[in-house]
């Protein structure tokens, strides 16, 4: 297998983008990535696009071809493939692109993610998202996504001593980081009170424990490491790519508040990179709900099971802490255009590794990690990236 | 959902008909037609569950999708059936009553309606034993 590098990145701003269509979003992100790599579109050999539910959100399927067409690639007939794994679609698109380059099959490959969520009314958006869980045996009996993660939170808080305030600190910290990220949907800091007094959605989760509905797109360009310097002075090496799956329904898990797919993908990634959690400078984890970040940092091995609440409240996951988590603001504050999230996580880590993260820059960042979850943990993608 | 999609699972939804593997005696609800432990050695047959179990975890849904007849708040739980498997279901009780470890038994109830002219979905909920 060949070593793979990221040579260019681009991302739209995230938010409720009433003036931008699905096509506008991915064309913008792709153009930014090409400009960043100082690359002409004619050099692109293949594309992989993460997208969860364009069929439900904009009644459009056949996304691979649509994107190739509007990116100006239709007449060159390059292969363009849509990748779907609910909220992990972006992470899997990145992984497929890495595999394509590593295998030697393709040289210059785009990995992108896009989701346009605000062109249907919110009830329809929420219903489409429920398809990431088991529709027959969770959705049909009244489960919602906040409801499923609330049951994880209830189980966690029953087993371990985490306070409601410690859980809320995840959202406070992510909003602090989002306020320092110019692409974030919410660039406002919040207090513990904001979270604790927000509307109850599914006990114990409140509105400010939940990530929002977001429009956005992100793209990165990959090349063989030995060709990377043709395009950029700051190539970032892909040190590991890992993916794991688990039962589609939460009720079939070995332990409700451990994401075994996160544990498996994390261990595979560390093994592939020949690294441990101690060498990771910052990590973007999948905080679709505050409890998801708590489980993620434990299941990836950054702290012991049952201690992430205190770890977070002590500031260990904040900028300047032991392991800064979600420097972008995470899904909570940066936003969660589901198919784009996995690529945005890579975008954030690349910015950190290049020293371009501005007010949220981690000093001396050398190695970063991304963690992207589909559903309640039925798919997990983990990547490790390193400065050269 | 279409009538056929609902109708084909009526025995499972109304009467808790799951399956079990005669090779390893593991029970499945929701039903599976392939045993993940025995794989091709497995022999799957229907099994009617007694309908008693314990709450593993739960939440109180405050914001519910439109089709749910009790649009909230309602208790949603993961229940461990006495035969072993776990399933997701609503628990009919005062939300303040629900507790992890609480014993529950199955009851037949209305689950959801597909708008004013669509079909009404019935199925299994649970209540305190």
Structure ipTM: 0.97
Q: Model pTM? A: 0.98
- Cβ separation A155–B56 shorter than 8 A: yes
d(CA A336, CA A15): 9
Dihedral Cα A333, A324, A146, A121, nearest 10 deg: 20
Cα(B95)–Cα(B77) distance, integer angstroms:
11
Q: A246 is written with which tokens?
A: 């688990």
Please give the pLDDT value at position B115.
83
| B30 contact A CB<8A | yes
CA distance A317 to chain B (A): 27
CA B36: distance to chain centroid? 20
Which residue reads 């739960």 in tokens?
Answer: B58
Degrees to nearest 5, angle at CA A130 with A241 and A162: 70
Tokens of A49: 């696009």
d(CA A234, CA A36): 11
**What are the domain boundaries of chain B?**
3-128
Domains in chain A, please, with CATH?
4-121+214-236 (3.40.47.10), 132-210+239-387 (3.40.47.10)
pLDDT by position in tens, chain A (length 388): 999 999 999 999 999 999 999 999 999 999 999 999 999 999 999 999 999 999 999 999 999 999 999 999 999 999 999 999 999 999 999 999 999 999 999 999 999 999 999 999 988 999 999 999 999 999 999 999 999 999 999 999 999 999 999 999 999 999 999 999 999 999 999 999 999 999 999 999 999 999 999 999 999 999 999 999 999 999 999 999 999 999 999 999 999 999 999 999 999 999 999 999 999 999 999 999 999 999 999 999 999 999 999 999 999 999 999 999 999 999 999 999 999 999 999 999 999 999 999 999 999 999 999 999 999 999 999 999 999 9
Cβ-defined contact of A123 to B65 (cutoff 8 Å):
yes
Task: Write the residue in B56, B64, B77 that is nearest to A144 by C-beta.
Answer: B64
Return d(Cα A317, Cα A156) in angstroms, integer.
19
3-state secondary structure of A167: helix
Q: Which of residues 116-175 of A touch B (CB under 8 A)?
A: 123, 126-127, 130, 134, 136-138, 140-144, 146-147, 150-155, 158
- Residue A59 is classified by DSSP as S
At A379, list the tokens.
């798919």
- Find, in chain A, the residue whose alpha carbon is nearest to that of B80: A251
- Quote the CA–CA distance of B30 and B48 in Å, as a whole number: 12
CB proximity A202 to B under 8 Å: yes
Q: Does B58 contact chain A (CB < 8 Å)?
A: yes
- Say how far apart CA A297 and CA A97 lie, in whole Å: 26
Q: Does B111 touch chain A (CB under 8 A)?
A: yes
Chain A: residue nearest B65 by CA? Answer: A123
- Interface with chain B: mutation pick from A122, A130, A145, A251, highest number of B CBs within 10 Å: A251
Q: Which residue of A has its CA nearest to B56?
A: A155
The one-character DSSP state at A189 is -
| Interval B106-127 mean pLDDT | 92
Strand B17-21 relative to strand A379-387, pairing: unpaired
Q: Hey, are the CB atoms on B65 and A203 less than 8 Å from each other? A: no
Question: Hey, are the CB atoms on A251 and B86 less than 8 Å from each other?
Answer: yes
Secondary element (H or E) of residue A381 = strand A379-387
Find the distance separating the first CA and the last CA of chain A, reported in whole Å.
18
Q: Which residue of A lies nearest to B9 if distances are taken between CA atoms?
A: A136
Q: Tell me the CA end-to-end span of chain B in Å, nearest whole number.
A: 32
Q: A250 at the B interface (CB within 8 A)? A: yes
Sheet of strand B17-21: strand arrangement: B27-28, B17-21, B44-48
**How close is the nearest chain A Cα to the Cα of B103, in Å?**
16
Comparing alpha-carbon positions, the chain B residue that sits nearest to A146 is: B61
**Is the pLDDT assigned to residue B66 strictly greater than 90?**
no
Catalytic annotation present for A210: no
Q: What is the Cα gyration radius of chain A? A: 19
Q: Which of A87, A288, A295, A303 is catalytic?
A: A87
Mutate to test the interface with B, among A121, A141, A204 (most CBs of B within 10 A): A141
Contact check, Cβ <8 Å, B30/A137:
yes
Are A144 and B77 inside 8 Å of each other by CB?
no
Q: Which residues of A touch B97 (CB under 8 A)?
A: none
Name the residue of chain B whose CA is nearest to A143's CA: B76
Look at A142 and B100 and tell me if their CB atoms are within 8 Å: no
| Residue for token pair 């991302």 | A11
Give yes or no: A87 in active site: yes
pLDDT of residue B1: 74
Whether residue B67 has pLDDT greater than 90: no
What's the CA gap between A358 and A218, in Å, rounded? 19
């Amino acid at each position: 297998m060949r070593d793979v590098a990221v040579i260019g990145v681009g991302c739209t701003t995230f938010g409720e983008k009433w003036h931008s269509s699905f096509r506008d979003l991915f064309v913008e992100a792709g153009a930014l990535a090409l400009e960043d790599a100082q690359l002409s579109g004619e050099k692109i050999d293949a594309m992989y696009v993460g997208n969860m539910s364009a069929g439900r959100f904009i009644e459009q399927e056949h996304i691979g071809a649509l994107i190739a067409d509007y990116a100006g690639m239709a007449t060159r007939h390059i292969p363009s493939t849509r990748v779907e794994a609910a909220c992990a679609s972006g992470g899997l698109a990145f992984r497929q692109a890495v595999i394509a380059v590593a295998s030697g099959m393709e040289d210059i490959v785009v990995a992108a993610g896009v989701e346009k969520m605000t062109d249907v009314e919110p009830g329809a958006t929420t219903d489409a998202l429920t398809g990431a869980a088991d529709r027959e045996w969770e959705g049909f009996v009244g489960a919602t996504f906040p409801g499923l993660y609330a049951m994880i939170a209830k189980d966690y808080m029953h087993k371990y001593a985490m306070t409601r305030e410690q859980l809320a600190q995840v959202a406070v910290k992510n909003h602090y980081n989002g306020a320092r990220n110019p692409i974030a949907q919410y660039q406002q800091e919040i207090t513990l009170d904001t979270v604790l007094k927000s509307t109850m959605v599914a006990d114990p989760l409140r509105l400010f424990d939940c990530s929002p509905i977001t429009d956005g797109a992100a793209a990165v360009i990959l090349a063989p490491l030995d060709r990377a310097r043709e395009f950029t002075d700051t190539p970032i090496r892909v040190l590991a790519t890992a993916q794991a799956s688990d039962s589609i329904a939460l009720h079939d898990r070995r332990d409700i508040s451990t994401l075994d797919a996160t544990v498996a993908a994390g261990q595979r990634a560390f093994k592939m990179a020949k690294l441990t959690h101690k060498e990771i400078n910052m990590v973007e984890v999948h905080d679709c709900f505050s409890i998801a970040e708590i489980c993620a940092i434990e299941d990836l091995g950054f702290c012991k099971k049952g201690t992430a609440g205190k770890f977070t409240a002590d500031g260990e996951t904040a900028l300047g802490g032991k392991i800064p988590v979600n420097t972008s603001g995470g899904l909570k504050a940066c936003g969660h255009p589901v198919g784009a999230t996995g690529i945005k996580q890579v975008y954030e880590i690349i910015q950190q590794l290049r020293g371009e993260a501005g007010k949220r820059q981690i000093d001396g960042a050398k190695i970063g990690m991304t963690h992207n979850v589909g559903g309640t943990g039925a798919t997990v993608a983990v990547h490790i990236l390193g400065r050269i | 959902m279409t009538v056929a999609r609902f109708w084909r699972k009526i025995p499972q939804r109304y009467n808790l008909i799951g399956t079990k593997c005669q090779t390893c005696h593991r029970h499945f609800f929701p039903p599976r037609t392939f045993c993940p432990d025995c794989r091709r050695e497995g022999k799957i047959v229907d099994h009617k569950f007694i309908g008693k179990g314990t709450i593993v975890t739960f939440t109180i849904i405050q914001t519910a999708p439109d089709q749910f007849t009790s649009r909230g708040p309602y208790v949603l739980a993961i229940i461990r059936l006495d035969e072993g498997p776990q399933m997701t279901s609503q628990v009919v009780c005062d939300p303040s009553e629900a507790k992890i470890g609480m014993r529950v038994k199955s009851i037949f109830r209305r689950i959801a309606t597909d708008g004013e002219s669509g079909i009404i979905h019935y199925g299994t909920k649970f209540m305190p034993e």
